[in-house]
Chains A and B, each alone.
Chain A
Amino acid sequence: MQLISKLTGTAIAALGLMLATQAGAAKSKGNDKPAAINENPYPSTYHPYAGEPTAIVGATVFDGAGARIDNGTVLVSGGKIERIGDASLAIPAGYRKIDAGGKFVTPGIIDIHSHLGVYPSPAVEANSDGNEATSPTTPDVWAEHSVWPQDPGFSRAMANGGITSLNILPGSANLMGGRSVMLKNVPGRTVQSMKFPGAPYSLKMACGENPKRVYGSKGREPSTRMGNMAVDRATWIKASEYRRKRDAGKQETRDLGMETLAGVLDGKILIQNHCYRADEMAQVLDMAKEFGYKVSAFHHAVESYKIGDLLKASDTCAAIWADWWGFKMEAYDGIPENAALVYDAGACVIIHSDDEYGIQRLNQEAAKAQGSGRRMGIVIPDEQVIRWITLNPAHALGIEAQTGSLSPGKMGDVVLWNGNPLSVYARPEKVWVDGALLYDANDPKRRPVSDFELGQPGEGDVK
């Protein structure tokens, strides 16, 4: 037993090291220095559940990368996408064959912006763990230390939205809200058992109304947008100094926040930046240049249509709602054509949720954005629209090598829809995660029920 746990520990440590290396870990310093910081102290213990070799036959396949195959065949085995093709693709012996005529297949849907687990249902104060709103910069906090795995929202996201991967972020009270955590949408007893193996970390940042309101109301900086920028810049200056010292081997005391920020400056930790207004996004892009980091995606970027050219030039994605509008001042210029205009400008579009209901229908939100584009003459094929909720978020999250499309060798994250997912009348029929069937509309027991819902009215209902 001891031996086993020791071995397991070693294996996990080795895995952690490997993952850190994958993500581009800092090179170790001189031999006289203390042991390198463990960059993965809460490693993923996720393991794929058992699946069977499966052939989905006859469906319309949207591969997530922008291709469409009519009457297609999707082969999944060993937990991976094995191959996809048209009707001529041979089905090896021993595969479970699923006749999917009239149905549709997509990669598992990915939400780049969720607060499931950190703002769970029920939305009671005791479970409200999304904003460490005690300092405008808290790069030291990690969302994974707040996630409640028993949030019933995870199951709804799978059953109704076909979500297989999701990025859980801290809230936007702070300019630097902390690290987000990438999860596989697989129920677990622990957050570690849900963590997406090998995913890089992201740092959540926020501009605009929220930080200045939260801290301005406490009588402290920032109380204005210029205060937002000043605090951000001062913090990046500190982080740059910290990194210089660290690289020179002169850093003796660990600083969790600075480790995160230095990780951003190293290019190992991505930036997911909540930012509504076009002018503020442009400021942030300059700030990123000033300090030498890259913004992976602007989230809630309701004005991204005003700067599609700038986003394209900086290779920054616009993660947006389809048509949220007007609920706060910085959302006043939101338009339902946002996604189509950003697409038309050649920049990267992502449809995100930020909402426990929106995550149940990212496909529907993408379809609304597609329709709004069509009405103004921007016609975008279905197979490109699906990319907004699959490969594009995977790209902005640094996991596109593992998931987000049906490329051979990628994770077997697959959704079989009972109709075109861009129709309101379609729902997931089956959802596989790493080749394991974890939701089946035809099997009442093949759907997750969280601990919280056990013994309660409505337990195991269709939801």
Chain B
Amino acid sequence: MSRFSRIAALLAASLVSTSAIAAPTDFAITNATVVLGDGSAPIPEGTVVVRSGKVVAAGANVSVPAGVSVIDGSGKWVSPGMVVAVTDLGLLDVGAVENSNDSGARKSPFSAALDVSAAIDPEAMPIRVSRTGGVTRTAVAPSAESSIFAGQGAYVDLAASGNTIDRPRAFQYVELGERGGRLAGGSRVSAQAILRNALREARDFARRAGPTGARRGTATVGSVQPASPEAGRIAESDVARGTDVQLTRADAAALVPVVNGTQPLFVHVERMADLRQTLALSHEFPALRLVIVGAAEGWRVADEIAAAHVPVIASGITDLPGAFETMAATQSNIGRMVRAGVRVAIGNMFDNDQPRYARQYAGNLVALTRLPGATGLTWGQAFAAISSVPAEIMGEGAHFGSLLPGHAADVVVWDGDPLELGSGAERVFIDGVEQPLDNHQTRLRTRYRHPQEGALPKAYEW
């Protein structure tokens, strides 16, 4: 009894000390291999200095200012935390437990207006497991279930602070490939018609509302958050709409910032023909800020994607024709697109394809550089594809995703090369605040170090 209560007390104390949310600490990590995340090669014997939650300096020949605590990074690697777009982190506890899963709404009367920020749980275990795995930021996307429009995604950090949502209603997500066709009633033809009609309705809605012609405000429509102050204004307005509209008022309002270019449109397509159709949307709706998700056949039109300056969030190592739309899939896809000048992030990770695996995919793309006929990424490019590039695609490149001065101090200390399979995260900082890395898994690991029961059942070991 006394032994166990003592252990429990010690454990409880250590938990409190690690999970208490402190203010950002000023610190420096020295003698480590430093990864800036901006595409450059790792820097041996480097230093990272963090103050007030921001990176002050990182690299070689960086001096440690007086008054900051120093962490000896000998033998360690230090990098920005992984940034993975797009994911379902925080929207579910267990994917297959339907009641815990808010990633999609098959029977919702709303579509584009759906706002995932209303459902993100910063304490969801997948967030904690991902943080332990070195992921610090993500773009959370809803899953399209009732319409080609999944709704509005959010930018989220994985800090244990509880203030997880960095930017709600950050983007709109739409399905235009095979899945989009099924959601649209049976064909891509219908998906394209629905998309174009929806954007026209949004444009018309905004035009009728006029710059000042409606009530001001950012009030919500029911429980549905407006996409922007402007969308909220017109959703709340009494502006008349045409009699043959397809969209609900809330959905039309939510698409206003998409059609006027203040909110990016993430489009999931895979095959070459769909990629071209997607790029062509800009002719009719020139303000669209397109981001392509998927793009398994992107390498076949890499020059066109690059010329359109449309960035891509691709799956890491898709190389099978899992569907007809991914017929030409190859692991060299990302390397070939990057070589053509496309900005490509590794992401698009949902369900059991968990964001913590992103660094393994990045490592695999480095491996391709040694495979005859394949096109991979340099080490620096590969790490950038899971840090600064997704941050740039999210429009947050000036805020996080690298260890350049002024960026958020999202810093991970690894026990080795972070793209290597055997390496793991030892310490994780978000905005300069050290994060707890314990979770359900780490506690089970400790309890079951030896499977046999001791003097008391396993249930007393905690």
Seen from chain A, the residues whose Cβ lies within 8 Å of a Cβ on chain B are: 121-124, 152-153, 156, 160, 209, 305-310, 324-329, 332-337, 341, 345, 356-357, 360-361, 364, 367-368, 370-372, 374-376, 418-419, 422-427, 441-442, 444, 452-453, 456-458, 461-463
Contact A371-B319, Cβ < 8 Å, known A341-B451, A456-B327, A457-B297: no
**B422 contacts A371, CB within 8 Å?**
yes
**B332 contacts A371, CB within 8 Å?**
no
Cβ-closest chain B residue relative to A340: B445
**A368 contacts B360, CB within 8 Å?**
yes
Residues of B with C-beta under 8 A to A336: 441
**B94 contacts A306, CB within 8 Å?**
no
The CA of A336 and the CA of B330, in the complex, are separated in Å by: 28
**B332 contacts A462, CB within 8 Å?**
yes
Stretch of B3-11, B59-67, B285-293, B368-376 with 4 or more beta carbons under 8 angstroms from chain A = B368-376
Confirm or deny: B300 has a beta carbon within 8 angstroms of a beta carbon on chain A: yes
- From A121, A332, A341, B449 is in contact (CB under 8 Å) with A341
**B332 contacts A461, CB within 8 Å?**
yes
Cβ-closest chain B residue relative to A321: B352
CB distance from B101 to the nearest CB of A (A): 11
- From B97, B364, B451, A306 is in contact (CB under 8 Å) with B451
**A306 contacts B448, CB within 8 Å?**
yes
Contact A444-B449, Cβ < 8 Å, known A122-B322, A456-B328: no
**A308 contacts B422, CB within 8 Å?**
no
- From A121, A124, A345, B451 is in contact (CB under 8 Å) with A345
Confirm or deny: B440 has a beta carbon within 8 angstroms of a beta carbon on chain A: yes
**B96 contacts A328, CB within 8 Å?**
yes
**B422 contacts A332, CB within 8 Å?**
no
Residues of B with C-beta under 8 A to A329: 94, 96-97
Stretch of B254-262, B384-392, B394-402, B413-421 with 4 or more beta carbons under 8 angstroms from chain A = B413-421
Cβ-closest chain B residue relative to A332: B94
The CA of A453 and the CA of B322, in the complex, are separated in Å by: 12
**B372 contacts A123, CB within 8 Å?**
no
Seen from chain B, the residues whose Cβ lies within 8 Å of a Cβ on chain A are: 94-97, 125-126, 129, 272, 297, 300, 317, 319-324, 327-332, 351-352, 354, 360, 363-364, 366-368, 370-374, 415, 419-424, 440-441, 444-445, 448-452
Residues of B with C-beta under 8 A to A121: 320-322
**B448 contacts A341, CB within 8 Å?**
yes
CB distance from A342 to the nearest CB of B (A): 9
> Most chain-A Cβ atoms within 10 A of its Cβ — which of B95, B321, B371, B415?
B321
The CA of A419 and the CA of B323, in the complex, are separated in Å by: 33
**B320 contacts A327, CB within 8 Å?**
no
The CA of A376 and the CA of B445, in the complex, are separated in Å by: 9
**B420 contacts A423, CB within 8 Å?**
yes
**A367 contacts B421, CB within 8 Å?**
yes
Residues of B with C-beta under 8 A to A357: 317, 320
The CA of A337 and the CA of B354, in the complex, are separated in Å by: 17
Contact A458-B328, Cβ < 8 Å, known A371-B423, A425-B363, A452-B321: yes
CB distance from A286 to the nearest CB of B (A): 17
- From A308, A368, A425, A442, B372 is in contact (CB under 8 Å) with A442
**B370 contacts A462, CB within 8 Å?**
no
**B94 contacts A328, CB within 8 Å?**
yes
Residues of B with C-beta under 8 A to A442: 372
**B95 contacts A370, CB within 8 Å?**
no
**A333 contacts B444, CB within 8 Å?**
yes
The CA of A441 and the CA of B374, in the complex, are separated in Å by: 10
**A425 contacts B321, CB within 8 Å?**
no
> Most chain-A Cβ atoms within 10 A of its Cβ — which of B95, B330, B352, B415?
B352
Residues of B with C-beta under 8 A to A419: 370
Contact A335-B328, Cβ < 8 Å, known A309-B451, A424-B366, A452-B321: no
Cβ-closest chain B residue relative to A307: B451
**B441 contacts A375, CB within 8 Å?**
no
Residues of A with C-beta under 8 A to B420: 371, 423-425
Closest 3 CB pairs of A and B: A371-B422, A458-B328, A424-B363
The CA of A367 and the CA of B364, in the complex, are separated in Å by: 13
Residues of B with C-beta under 8 A to A427: 367-368, 370-371
**B331 contacts A462, CB within 8 Å?**
yes
**A457 contacts B300, CB within 8 Å?**
yes
The 10 listed contacts between A and B (C-beta, < 8 Å) are: A122-B321, A306-B448, A309-B451, A324-B352, A325-B129, A328-B95, A371-B421, A424-B363, A425-B363, A427-B370
The CA of A326 and the CA of B332, in the complex, are separated in Å by: 30
Residues of B with C-beta under 8 A to A463: 319, 329-331
Residues of B with C-beta under 8 A to A305: 444, 448, 451
Residues of B with C-beta under 8 A to A334: 441
A sample of 8 more A-B contacts (CB under 8 A), given A326-B126, A419-B370, A457-B300, is A332-B440, A341-B445, A356-B322, A424-B367, A441-B372, A456-B321, A462-B374, A463-B331
The CA of A442 and the CA of B322, in the complex, are separated in Å by: 26
Residues of B with C-beta under 8 A to A424: 360, 363-364, 366-367, 419-421
**B331 contacts A368, CB within 8 Å?**
no
Residues of A with C-beta under 8 A to B415: 375
**A374 contacts B422, CB within 8 Å?**
yes
Cβ-closest chain B residue relative to A377: B449
Residues of A with C-beta under 8 A to B97: 328-329
Residues of B with C-beta under 8 A to A209: 96
The CA of A371 and the CA of B320, in the complex, are separated in Å by: 28
Residues of A with C-beta under 8 A to B423: 371
**B321 contacts A364, CB within 8 Å?**
no
Residues of B with C-beta under 8 A to A462: 330-332, 368, 371-374
Residues of A with C-beta under 8 A to B96: 209, 327-329
Residues of A with C-beta under 8 A to B449: 341, 376
Residues of B with C-beta under 8 A to A309: 451-452
> Most chain-B Cβ atoms within 10 A of its Cβ — which of A123, A327, A371?
A327
Residues of B with C-beta under 8 A to A356: 320, 322
The CA of A406 and the CA of B395, in the complex, are separated in Å by: 53
Residues of A with C-beta under 8 A to B367: 424-427
**A367 contacts B422, CB within 8 Å?**
yes
Residues of A with C-beta under 8 A to B370: 418-419, 425, 427
The CA of A336 and the CA of B421, in the complex, are separated in Å by: 12
Residues of B with C-beta under 8 A to A310: 451
- From B95, B321, B368, B441, A327 is in contact (CB under 8 Å) with B95
CB distance from B415 to the nearest CB of A (A): 7
The CA of A424 and the CA of B324, in the complex, are separated in Å by: 29
> Most chain-A Cβ atoms within 10 A of its Cβ — which of B126, B300, B320?
B320
